[in-house]
Homo-oligomer: A and B are copies of this chain.
Amino acid sequence: MQGKTTDKRGEILDAAKAAFAERGFARARIADIARKISMGHGTFYRYFNNKLDIFFSVLDGIFADIARVVADEDPSSTNSLEEYRGQILRVGRRLYGMFLADDRLAQIIFYEAPGVDPELDRRMDEVSAAINRYTEAYLQNGIQKGFLRRGLDARILAKAVDAMIFAGLRDLSASRDKEREAERWLDAVCTLMLEGMGTGRNNA
C-alpha cells in the first residue's frame, strides 16, 4: 500500500524486535537498531517518535499476532469434550508454532517487556485479560453444552488455563526439542483441563 515507507518501517521494527530480545529495552540502543539495517540512526526518528514508541509498536505487533491466533476459533462451535480438546490443540499448536518460529517473541513478552513502562504493563494486562475472557467463553460454552461440569469457577479457571498455556510458551524457549516439548505441553494442559490428574478413586 504505502510501498517503501512501510517496508522501511517494517525493517526497523524487525531490527528493533531483535535488539530488544537480545539486550532488553534499557540496554538496546537506537544506534544498534539502526546499525543492524545499515541506517543512520537519525533516520529512526523519521519512523518512530522515540525509543518507547517503537517498543510499544513491537509489542502491538506481537499482541496482534497472538490475537489473530486466539480469535480464529469460535468459542461456541464445540459440542463435546472431544471437539473441545481438538479445538484447544488447534489453537495451542498455532500459538506454539508462532512462538517456535520466532524465539524473540517469548523473550520480549516474558522477559523484556514487564516493568519497562507502567502504561505498557497496563496494556499487557489488558491483552491478558482479553485472552482470559476468550477462554472463559470457551468454558461457559462447555458448561452450557454439558461437557464441562456445572459450578466451575469459570473466570478463575480461564486464567489458570491461560497461565498454563503461556507457561508452556515460556518454557519452550529454553527447550531443546521444541516441537516434541510443545506437544507434551499441549497434552499436559489438555489432561489437566479435561480430566485432572486424580485416579477418580478418591478413597485413600
Contacts and interface: CB of A to CB of B under 8 A. Distances in A.
Interface of A: 24-26, 79-83, 110-116, 121, 125, 139, 142, 146-149, 152-153, 156-157, 159-164, 166-168, 171, 174, 181, 184-185, 187-189, 191-199, 201-204
Contacts of A82: 202, 204
Q: Is the interface of A mostly helix, strand, loop or mixed?
A: helix
Given A156-B168, A163-B164, 17 more contacts: A24-B115, A25-B115, A79-B204, A81-B198, A83-B204, A110-B114, A111-B114, A115-B116, A146-B199, A149-B197, A149-B199, A156-B184, A156-B187, A160-B168, A163-B167, A193-B196, A194-B197
Nearest to A122: B174
Nearest to A161: B192
B81 A192 contact: no
A196 B192 contact: yes
Contacts of A113: 115
